[in-house]
């Protein structure tokens, strides 16, 4: 029992350390995001700075989703795109020994969507106030929806928060961003990421045409040399998502296609609001406690 308690304390310490690192990286990155700055510059900064501060690496590629993009956008290799007067979702994750901190903020460079940004921020605050041991995630979703609707916007209903586990950024349970008929009861010691999305659009996202983020979901032998070489290159990421721009394997597009066809990797297309609406996102990682929760990414 003593060893088990010690193990749990060590795990919590790693989650907390990851959260502190992420918080500093997020703050520094926010200050760098301005009209005319390169998206790739920000992504490289986020991913490298976390390691400089003591993280073992990124929990997933830095997501920089703009305007009607809700999630899964990350720069391409050699990307020369710069920020305009955009509504930017900066979603970043770091890990310490596979234990993950996940957080997101929205930065309005247009100056026109402050209320939309506030809506997702208030949704997150309402959720954090609701979370504690014994609470049903359906109640968390209702709190998020009420807070967002109070600002005159809609939650993005088919996006959710999620549990966290070692080297697994999207684990059980899902944390809904809207009312649902039945959820899951949260327990003390659960590690979850809560991420409300608000929109002035329809309230639903669909897959876009661009995919730059992938994840290994199964390992099995492959015959083609390019696919074998890529699978070898992916070993350090374990089950954490990776960006195409991180990879050096020759015939990369072909190798990715073969691994996806074989069910070895899963792709994450950029998610876009179906009605073309603007989207804001705010996210924190929390540890559920007996009477509330501890936010690790403040």
Annotated binding site for substrate: 72, 170
- What lies within 8 Å, CB to CB, of 112 at 6+ separation is none
Distances (CA, A) of 160 to 187, 195, 267: 18, 7, 18
Which among 162, 190, 212, 284 is annotated as catalytic? 162
Which among 69, 200, 283, 284 is annotated as catalytic? 283
Q: Which residues pair with 280 in a beta bridge?
A: 198
Which among 139, 170, 200, 284 is annotated as catalytic? 170
Q: How far apart are the first and last CA of the chain?
A: 32
Residue 52 annotated to the active site = no
Residue 284 annotated to the active site = no
Which among 47, 69, 102, 273 is annotated as catalytic? 102
Residue 266 annotated to the active site = no
How far apart (Å, rounded) are the C-alpha atoms in residues 181 and 184?
11
Residue 162 annotated to the active site = yes
For residue 218, give both structure tokens: 């199964």
Residue 13 annotated to the active site = no
Q: Which of 35, 31, 192 has its CA nearest to residue 100?
A: 192
Residue 190 annotated to the active site = no
Residue ranges at the known binding site: 72, 91, 102, 162, 170, 195, 283
Residue ranges at the known binding site for a divalent metal cation: 91, 102, 162, 195, 283
Positions annotated as catalytic residues are 91, 102, 162, 170, 195, 283
């Amino acid at each position: 029992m003593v060893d088990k308690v010690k193990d749990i304390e060590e795990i919590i310490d790693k989650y907390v350390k990851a959260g502190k690192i992420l918080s500093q990286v997020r703050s520094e990155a926010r200050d760098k995001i301005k009209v005319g700055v390169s998206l790739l510059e920000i992504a490289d900064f986020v991913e490298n700075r976390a390691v400089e501060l003591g993280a073992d690496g990124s929990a997933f590629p830095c997501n920089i989703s703009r305007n009607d993009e809700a999630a899964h956008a990350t720069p391409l290799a050699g990307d020369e795109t710069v920020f305009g007067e955009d509504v930017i979702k900066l979603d970043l994750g770091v890990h310490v020994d596979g234990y993950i901190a996940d957080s997101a903020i929205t930065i309005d460079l247009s100056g026109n969507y402050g209320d939309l940004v506030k809506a997702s921020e208030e949704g997150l605050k309402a959720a954090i106030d609701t979370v504690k041991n014994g609470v049903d995630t359906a109640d968390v979703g209702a709190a998020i929806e009420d807070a967002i609707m109070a600002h005159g916007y809609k939650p993005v209903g088919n996006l959710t928060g999620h549990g966290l586990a070692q080297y697994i950024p999207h684990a059980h349970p899902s944390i809904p961003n809207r009312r649902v008929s039945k959820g899951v009861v949260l327990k003390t010691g659960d590690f979850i990421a809560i991420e409300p999305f608000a929109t002035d659009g329809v309230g639903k996202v669909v897959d876009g045409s661009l995919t730059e983020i992938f994840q290994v979901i199964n390992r099995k032998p492959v015959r083609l040399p390019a696919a074998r070489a890529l699978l070898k290159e992916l070993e350090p990421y374990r089950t954490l998502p990776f960006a195409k721009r991180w990879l050096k394997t020759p015939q990369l597009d072909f190798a990715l296609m073969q691994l996806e066809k074989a069910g070895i990797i899963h792709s994450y297309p950029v998610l876009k609001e179906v009605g073309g609406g603007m989207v804001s996102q705010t996210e924190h990682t929390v540890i559920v406690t007996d009477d509330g929760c501890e936010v690790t990414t403040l």
